[in-house]
Amino acid sequence: MGKKVVVITGSPRRNGNSFAMTDAFVKAAEAKGHTVIRFDAALKKVGGCRACETCFSSEKACAFHDEFNMIAPAILEADAIVFTMPVYWYSIPAQIKGIIDCIFSLVVGGKDIAGKECALITCCEEDDISVMDGVRIPIERMAAFNKWKMIGEVLIPGVLNVGDIDKTDGCKKAVDLADVI
């Protein structure tokens, strides 16, 4: 049966490496009958969490970030959430981190978000796969906290410039990820 999939990207490079893998994943997931809603965090303005703890005190998830409020209902409805991003300084890029932090509003708001599937697509310049730990581990821990099941990770080292991903099996692995949703 087709699932509702939310894909949240974190690169500002529209033609970059993580977007190429994202595009491959989305195409494959849609071909399998899943419904994909995509949110390109770095192409929007989303600040960080202000820790005001007024989440959902109105009908809005977040009192400050209307861009997050646009995607919050889809996250609540989703069967699967896929995060895609490059590594920035051994960590999660600021733009998508703002969105990830805003997901805390669903917890503070007491929403039932358990039981979703979660996956990660990421890449970095260096050849050492552990460079991606700073992205992988927080996503895995957040998924565990939210009682989401990690169903797949595409971790591609050794890609710096636009197009480098084509010299790897990253896009194929992203297509394969759609098989396990």
Would you count residue 170 as binding ligand FMN (CB under 6 A)? no
Whether 81 and 116 have beta carbons less than 8 Å apart is answered as yes
Phi, psi of 151 (to 5 degrees): -110, -10
Query: Which of 134, 140, 100, 102 is closest to 120 using CA atoms?
Result: 140
* Beta carbon nearer to ligand FMN, 15 or 57: 15
Position among 99, 118, 155, 159 found at the interface with ligand FMN (CB under 6 A): 159
Interaction with ligand FMN in 81-100: which residues (CB under 6 A)? 86-90
Task: Give Cβ neighbours of residue 8 (< 8 Å, ≥ 6 apart).
Answer: 38, 39, 41, 71, 81, 82, 83, 84, 96, 99, 100
Distance CA 27, CA 112 (A): 29
Position among 70, 137, 160, 180 found at the interface with ligand FMN (CB under 6 A): 160
* Beta carbon nearer to ligand FMN, 62 or 119: 119
Would you count residue 152 as binding ligand FMN (CB under 6 A)? no
- Strand-by-strand arrangement of the 80-86 sheet: 35-40, 4-9, 80-86, 117-123, 149-156
Task: Give the binding-site size for ligand FMN (rule: CB under 6 A).
Answer: 18
Would you count residue 11 as binding ligand FMN (CB under 6 A)? yes
Would you count residue 124 as binding ligand FMN (CB under 6 A)? yes
Judged by CB under 6 A, the stretch of 16-24, 58-66, 113-121, 143-151 that binds ligand FMN is: 16-24
CA distances from 128 to 2, 54, 135 (A): 36, 41, 14
Whether 121 and 25 have beta carbons less than 8 Å apart is answered as yes
Would you count residue 123 as binding ligand FMN (CB under 6 A)? yes
Build a one-symbol-per-residue string for 23-62: x at contacts with ligand FMN by CB under 6 A, - elsewhere.
----------------------------------------
Contact positions toward ligand FMN, by CB under 6 A?
A: 11, 13, 16-19, 86-90, 123-126, 131, 159-160
